[in-house]
Structure 1
Amino acid sequence: MCGRFVQSLSPAEYAQSLNLDLFDSTPIGRYNVAPTTGVHVIHQVGDRYRDSVIPWGWKPQWATGGRPGPINARLETVATKPFFRPIWKSGRCLVGADGWYEWKTDPDDKKRKQPYFICLKSGDPLLFACIGQLPHGDEEPGASDGFVILTGAADAGLVDVHDRKPLVLSPDFALSWLSSDTSADDALHIAEHQELPAEAFEWYPVSRDVGNVRNKGPHLIEPIDDPLL
């Protein structure tokens, strides 16, 4: 499960990986992005692309109760689950990231966990396939806007094979994912068959400081020499 990630580059740098020459060149500088916080999201508006900041997490208006909405959606059920029906066909978007964190748990002591940072071996930005309720035209994000990250099958974990991993697309397929010309069926095919393979990634242990959302800064992605696990 993807529960924390890094978005340190500028919106322009993430867009450049898609050969899009637009967006703000100011670095975002976030090394511990947590659920419910505002995140830069790339989406299509008419015949152009837009960078919007909307919360990580979403639920439909009919979902009552005080609990926040989910932050991830399972690829296996996202196209058919009524919960995500309002955003599946028309809410495709991308989140640019440097990498994400995953925790390895001691099987003999569930409270003993070691975080790892996962990124591309190439050093290129990651492009998470997402769906969300998104702003239209030039309007500001609304109170109901938000997004979820699609996650791969249970055997797709990297650090721990039991973990789910975010769906990461290559730039070419990421653009097709974004395009309004891509049907919902074709988008599902992309998600099911075109995610980057495990061999494209590398990972290493990092400080347990990342477990506290108040901790920020580039030291969080520096490798450590004495991991717990």
Structure 2
Amino acid sequence: MCGRLSQYSGIHDFVAALSMPNALVNSTGEQPFERYNAAPTAQLALFHQEGPFLHADMVRWGWRPHWAKDRAAPINARVEKVAHGPFFRAIWPHRAIVAINNWFEWVDEGGPKKQPYLIRHRDQSPILCAAIGQYPNEERDPGERDGFVIITADSAGGMVDIHDRRPVALSPMLAREWLNPDAIKDRAEQMLLHQGEPMEAFEWFKVNRAVGNVRNQGPDLIRPLIDCK
């Protein structure tokens, strides 16, 4: 998964997709986010559960432990290692969902520049991506080390032609289970490894190369590129 995604709907659209009856503690505002071209370090809406409440906070995309000062903060964590390696040990118990509209990948098709593709649900519903992070909770206000990473898995089928990694996207039912603080650790890991949404749930198409410049925003970036050849 390359480091670019869209989160342009409003928080209540994402809550509706999650279909979670818990009372919402919303710190993200009421307006659509309109982040059509979000890059690492962007503040994105992140869901986590604290007791009976669903919380939505703006949290930085990217995280590293306090002792890893010699490297950039990763934005993704590989599902094969995330539960067992030392790097993410501190945040593995802190499960979250980042709901996105789509993500982008760049493909070398032999031209002078790589061609960007947009990947989204075939029905264009929000994608509920499994994440872990350090974020505000009932006992702690936002801090400078807050951040999150998206968990990724190997791609399959035709999606391999676009990129070899993709977010672990969960169905609403599994996303709710993932968010449950009482979920058993082994069950959470098996969910990521074996129960992510299949390749058939997604579609992808070429988009304008303007998405390569993170300063570019707007709905034109997510429209299919018309092939005039």
Q: CA deviation at 1:76?
A: 0.6
The range that moved more, 22-31 or 74-83, is: 22-31
Question: What is the alpha-carbon distance in structure 1 between the residues aligned to residue 139 and residue 10 of structure 2?
Answer: 20
Q: What is residue 13 of structure 2 aligned with on the other side? A: 13
Question: What is the alpha-carbon distance in structure 2 between the residues aligned to residue 75 and residue 151 of structure 1?
Answer: 6
Q: CA deviation at 1:112?
A: 2.6
Question: What is the alpha-carbon distance in structure 2 between the residues aligned to residue 156 and residue 167 of structure 1?
Answer: 15
User: Given the two structures, how large is their TM-score scaled by the length of structure 1?
Assistant: 0.91
Q: CA deviation at 1:146?
A: 0.3
The one-letter code matched in structure 1 to 2:19 is N
**Alpha-carbon RMSD:** 1.9
Q: What is residue 52 of structure 2 aligned with on the other side? A: 47
Q: How many residues align?
A: 224
Change (3 A) 1:171 1:60: same
1:58-77 matched pairs, under 5 angstroms = 58-65=63-70, 67-77=71-81
Question: What is the alpha-carbon distance in structure 2 between the residues aligned to residue 115 and residue 195 of structure 1?
Answer: 24
Say whether the 8 Å CA contact 1:116–1:159 is kept in structure 2. no
Q: 1:56 aligns with which of 38, 61, 66?
A: 61
Say whether the 8 Å CA contact 2:156–2:199 is kept in structure 1. no
| Unaligned residue ranges in structure 2 (runs of 5+) | none
Q: What is residue 94 of structure 1 aligned with on the other side? A: 97
Question: What is the alpha-carbon distance in structure 2 between the residues aligned to residue 172 and residue 138 of structure 1?
Answer: 28
Question: What is the alpha-carbon distance in structure 2 between the residues aligned to residue 191 and residue 33 of structure 1?
Answer: 24
Q: What is residue 25 of structure 1 aligned with on the other side? A: 30
1:167-206 matched pairs, under 5 angstroms = 167-206=168-207
The one-letter code matched in structure 2 to 1:93 is A
Q: SS of the counterpart of 1:79?
A: coil
Q: CA deviation at 1:158?
A: 1.3
Question: What is the alpha-carbon distance in structure 2 between the residues aligned to residue 25 and residue 36 of structure 1?
Answer: 22
Say whether the 8 Å CA contact 1:41–1:53 is kept in structure 2. yes
Q: What is residue 40 of structure 2 aligned with on the other side? A: 35
Q: SS of the counterpart of 1:84?
A: coil
Structure 1 stretches of 4+ with a deviation exceeding 3 A read 20-25, 154-157
Q: CA deviation at 1:50?
A: 0.4
User: Given the two structures, how large is their TM-score scaled by the length of structure 2?
Assistant: 0.91
Change (3 A) 1:201 1:82: same
C-alpha deviations, 1:174-216, integer Å up to 9, x for none?
0001101211111101101111100010111000011110000
Q: CA deviation at 1:226?
A: 2.9
The one-letter code matched in structure 2 to 1:56 is W
Question: What is the alpha-carbon distance in structure 2 between the residues aligned to residue 6 and residue 37 of structure 1?
Answer: 11
Paired-residue identity, %:
45
Say whether the 8 Å CA contact 2:117–2:162 is kept in structure 1. no
Question: What is the alpha-carbon distance in structure 2 between the residues aligned to residue 219 and residue 137 of structure 1?
Answer: 39
Q: CA deviation at 1:157?
A: 7.1
Question: What is the alpha-carbon distance in structure 2 between the residues aligned to residue 221 and residue 154 of structure 1?
Answer: 22
Instruction: Check if 1:220 corresponds to 2:221.
Output: yes
Question: What is the alpha-carbon distance in structure 1 between the residues aligned to residue 76 and residue 157 of structure 2?
Answer: 15
Change (3 A) 1:9 1:162: closer
Change (3 A) 1:127 1:156: farther
